[in-house]
Amino acid sequence: MFESNAADHDSADPQPIADKQLAEKIERHAEPMQRLAHEVAKTLVGQQVLVHRMLVGLLTGGHLLIEGVPGLAKTTAVATLSKAIHADFQRLQFTPDLLPADLIGTQVYRPAQQEFVVQKGPIFANLILADEINRAPAKVQSALLEAMQDRQVTIGGETFPLPNPFLVMATQNPIEQEGTYPLPEAQMDRFMMKVVVDYPTRNEELEILARMSRTRRVEEVTAVTTPSEVMQARDLVDMVFVDQRIAEYIVDLVMATRKCEAYGLSISQWIQFGASPRATINLTLAAKANAFLHHRAYVTPQDVKDIAMDVLRHRVMITYEAEAEEKTSEHIVQMILDAVPVP
């Protein structure tokens, strides 16, 4: 199901003497995640990387930004995952006329009681699908920013905590599409990963045709896990071992986006801003979740390399010179991954 394996590592892996009891717990609690992936695959054809990243988001509480042109099943993927978890789910269609109150709620006056009461909005759910997030105005983006970062919202001067787990999976069309606007850099940094969805292969499209070219839905999604199982798995992800050499490798990857000359890269003219310390934290958490999904109690360099592009691509801001030379943030991140020595 997942695209990497411990046997694929191209360098010596730090393999500590893992606690056998922890390894057994990880083996047991990773099984619901496999059931979840299998259930999503009943509806979603292909897109294994997207499904894997959604599971990483679930295991770490990291929000996902999913980008791709219309028609690539971005919304279907998130909605299917939500149905496969017995949890509260809300789909929000972002439009230019959306108001913050439509998202977080507002105060409503009750004449009978002669008082204002709080009417909570759809943001109070475990899983939020923010569909076409880059169509929303700035005020809505600010309201969502507080919810994503602090797991709370403020209504009429009163603060309300959001349920746990709380996860935002947002979809967006590329900014070249008509009627869309780039997200603020501050909000982009709140997303743990940006996953770019590509067109299906020929065989996958034939499978899509066989499944979907009918007027009636053939197979409904069944809930195969619960929020409590997700939270138990998160506790184990926190316990996954990260060797000091792996930690230094992660820091070097992020530092190379800011001081590339120190790592033998002459690409500073292409980088406007490098990744923030939040990238270091998120890359470590995502690598631990990747190890967990492969039933391991320790992180390897390949875990970091597997996930680094999605964690860093939206945090490296490129210059106009880079755009003129047709260089993207993905090009820069790949050059850094190739240049920084693997422990």
State the pTM of this model: 0.82
Q: How many domains, in total, are found in the chain?
A: 2
Across the chain, which distance is largest between two alpha carbons, in Å?
71
Q: Which domain holds residue 298?
A: 241-343
pLDDT for residue 254: 92
The reply to whether 152 and 86 lie within a common domain is: yes
The reply to whether 173 and 268 lie within a common domain is: no
Residue 236's nearest CA partner among 14, 42, 31 is 31
The reply to whether 250 and 104 lie within a common domain is: no
Residue 193 has pLDDT above 80, yes or no: yes
pLDDT, tens digit, for every residue of 26-52?
Answer: 888 788 888 888 888 877 777 788 888
Work out the angle between the directed axes of helices 48-60 and 277-293 (0-180°, nearest 10): 110
Spatial distance between the Cα atoms of 307 and 4, rounded to a whole number of angstroms: 10
Indicate whether 10 belongs to any domain.
no
Residue 310's nearest CA partner among 340, 282, 278 is 282
Cis previous bond, 165, omega within 30: yes
The reply to whether 302 and 228 lie within a common domain is: no
Residue 257's nearest CA partner among 336, 342, 195 is 336
The reply to whether 203 and 251 lie within a common domain is: no
pLDDT for residue 282: 93
Phi, psi dihedral angles at 91 (to 5 degrees):
-105, 125
Last-in-domain residue among 178, 204, 239: 239
Which amino acid is located at 208 in the chain? I
Residue 5 has pLDDT above 60, yes or no: no
End-to-end CA distance of the chain: 27
Q: Percent of the chain at pLDDT above 70?
A: 91
- Please tell me whether residue 284 adopts helix, strand or coil conformation: helix
Indicate whether 286 belongs to any domain.
yes
The CA-atom distances, in angstroms, between 12 and each of 8, 42, 242, 301 are 11, 37, 15, 9
Spatial distance between the Cα atoms of 126 and 111, rounded to a whole number of angstroms: 32
Residue 3 has pLDDT above 50, yes or no: no
Q: Are 221 and 84 in contact (CB under 8 A)?
A: yes
Token duo for residue 147: 């919810």
DSSP symbols for 104-173:
HEEEEEETTTTEEEEEE-TT-SSEEEEETGGGS-HHHHHHHHHHHHHSEEEETTEEEEPPSS-EEEEEE-
pLDDT, tens digit, for every residue of 271-296?
Answer: 888 888 999 999 999 999 999 998 88
Cβ neighbours of residue 320 closer than 8 Å, sequence gap 6 or more: none
Last-in-domain residue among 239, 273, 294: 239
Spatial distance between the Cα atoms of 121 and 147, rounded to a whole number of angstroms: 12
